[in-house]
Amino acid sequence: MPVSGRIRVLIVDDSLVAREMLTQILATDSSIEVVGVARDGQEAVNAVAQLKPDLVTMDIHMPKMDGLLATEQIMAYHPTPILVVSSSVHGEGMGRAFDALQMGALEVIKKPEPRDWADLERIGCDVIRKVKLLSRVSVITHIKGRRRAIVEPAGSTVRHAGRLGVRSIVAIGSSTGGPSALLNVLGRLPKEFPVPIVIAQHISEGFVPGLVGWLDSGCAIQVLEAVDGQIAQSGCAYLAPTGSNLEMDGYAMRFSAPQAGQLYIPCADTLFISVANSFSRSAVGVILTGMGADGAEGLKRLHDAGAATIGQDEESSTVYGMPKAAADLGAVDEVRTVNEVAAAIERLVAQA
């Protein structure tokens, strides 16, 4: 966390154009100082040790040492907030960007491209906001490697929507640190999980398909992007799209426009409230790591309607913002580590 003065940033990218664009963007804010640039992962590891920046912007595809290994090394020896800046929003490259989150990076955004010069001011606002928010995160040491969830081959089992009157649906809200937490939770659930799961995860525009593919490859249940009007099925987890809110009308998924003043879209509050209205006590609500307070009011609505509610604990949260806000409202029945959330969900569904 910055202790005083300006936020000190190290830019890591093998592209001169990308380095210059990011430098120009960050230079427009007087509270941010670019203290160095690195052209590959090895330079980045060395620079972090020498410069001790408050935040690193990290490319993934680089020579000598890529951004994934650099992230792993930095988080193991010199833990520093890392914002992944990736040009890959589809396919294998996108999966590697999310792997960096497993190594301890905090968030991923799309890299500005040469054609974006004319729109630099708009793009810059989002980059600067992310840098300011993430530089305040107290990151922890990550010893190398990560646990991979076991992938089961896809089957031809026909899935059916849950039944009203029992635990009928699980709703999850998450933000910063959420992709890794979601993999941890969803990756522990059995293939034949008996109810649908709907998720509001805050993520930059264009990254939902990549996140869906990354999660699906590490889970026995099927992870899908939500489709407006589609019926949610058991054994499936659905991620809300960026740019729209996801609401449940019974088991039908509906997209709605953001409300005035909504900072986070998709909004966890909106999802939770719709689930409370449709399912009341037959729902399970879960709030995972994230900055801010989105989801707290909605989880309170679920709690007051008789639903079972779970909040991630402080120690295992990347950012203990959303779970704390919910706990402070009295919206959380159970506080669990991220490793315990899946078992708690299974127990609550089985008990109903």
**Catalytic residue status for 244:** no
Q: Residues 198, 226: contact at Cβ < 8 Å? A: yes
Residues of the chain with pLDDT under 70: 1-4, 88-94, 114-120, 143-166, 352
Residue 257 and residue 269: Cα distance in Å, rounded? 14
Residue 287 and residue 103: Cα distance in Å, rounded? 22
Residue 161 and residue 159: Cα distance in Å, rounded? 7
What pLDDT, on a 0 to 100 scale, did the predictor assign at position 177? Answer: 93
Residues contacting 309, CB < 8 A, separation 6+ = 284, 285, 286, 287, 299, 302, 303, 326, 331, 332, 333, 334
Given the residues 54, 59, 216, 294, the one annotated as active site: 294
What pLDDT, on a 0 to 100 scale, did the predictor assign at position 166? Answer: 66
Given the residues 175, 244, 274, 278, the one annotated as active site: 175
**Catalytic residue status for 142:** no
Domain ranges, ordered by start, for the chain: 7-134, 169-351
Sheet architecture: strand order including 32-38: 32-38, 7-12, 55-58, 82-86, 107-110
**Catalytic residue status for 317:** no
Given the residues 13, 40, 180, 202, the one annotated as active site: 202
CATH architecture of 169-351: 3-Layer(aba) Sandwich (3.40)
Residue with tokens 């990254």: 207
**Is the fold of 7-134 the same as that of 169-351?**
yes
| 252-306 confidence digits (pLDDT tens) | 999 999 888 788 899 999 999 999 999 999 999 999 999 999 999 999 999 999 9
| 315-351 confidence digits (pLDDT tens) | 999 999 999 999 999 999 999 999 999 999 999 998 7
- 274 in helix, strand or coil? helix
Instruction: State which fold the 7-134 domain adopts.
Output: Rossmann fold (3.40.50)
What pLDDT, on a 0 to 100 scale, did the predictor assign at position 231? Answer: 95
Residues contacting 3, CB < 8 A, separation 6+ = none
Residue 163 and residue 46: Cα distance in Å, rounded? 56
